[in-house]
Amino acid sequence: MLTLASVAVIAATSGASRPLLTARLASLRPDAERPLPVAEAPRVVHVTARRFEYEPAEIHVAAGESVVLELESVDRRHGFSIPELHVRADVDPGTTTRLALPKAAPGIYVFACDVFCGSHHEDMAGELIVD
Ligand SMILES: [Cu+2]
């Protein structure tokens, strides 16, 4: 596909007049007269990890909503994994890890720690609830 930049190069090297360039652009992008949609800024949800829980343990998002998690640990390295959505991250003390949630169909998705962190590691879990 031709990009705007390549069209500009074509116009510059071929000596095309401005009306010709406009015509070419219009044929490449029929909606060229319409303003481009402004990308919606994602909602940020802060999540704290500690032995052996997440706060909040339930994260609610709307279907189709753009959400970025900011993950922090207050004690040691943990993991944050949502196997069903194929996302995970390490969560370290002193560092904020940003994790964009993929858009998901309505439902309940379990998230859990996937970095062994002690005797109750297997209990460290929560739910992402997509409404
Ligand atoms: Cu763990």
57 CA from centroid of ligand 1 (Å) = 14
Give percent of the chain with pLDDT exceeding 90: 69
Same domain, 94 and 55: yes
Contacts of 117 (CB under 8 A, 6+ apart): 51, 52, 76, 77, 78, 124
DSSP 77: -
Q: Say yes or no to pLDDT of 31 above 70.
A: no
CB 113 within 8 A of CB 125: yes
CATH number of the domain encompassing residue 115: 2.60.40.420
Q: Say yes or no to pLDDT of 124 above 80.
A: yes
73 CA from centroid of ligand 1 (Å) = 11
Q: Say yes or no to pLDDT of 70 above 60.
A: yes
Look at residue 38 in the predicted model and tell me its pLDDT: 72
Overall pTM surpassing 0.85 (yes/no)? no
The two structure tokens encoding residue 85: 């959505």
CB 80 within 8 A of CB 111: yes
Same domain, 55 and 102: yes
110 CA from centroid of ligand 1 (Å) = 14
pLDDT bracket for residue 40 (50, 70, 90) = confident
| Domains contained in the chain, number | 2
52 CA from centroid of ligand 1 (Å) = 7
Look at residue 29 in the predicted model and tell me its pLDDT: 58
Look at residue 39 in the predicted model and tell me its pLDDT: 73
Mean pLDDT of the chain: 84
Same domain, 97 and 64: yes
Give percent of the chain with pLDDT exceeding 70: 73
Same domain, 85 and 33: no
Kind and range of the H or E element at 4?
Answer: helix 4-14
pLDDT bracket for residue 21 (50, 70, 90) = very low
Kind and range of the H or E element at 25?
Answer: helix 18-28
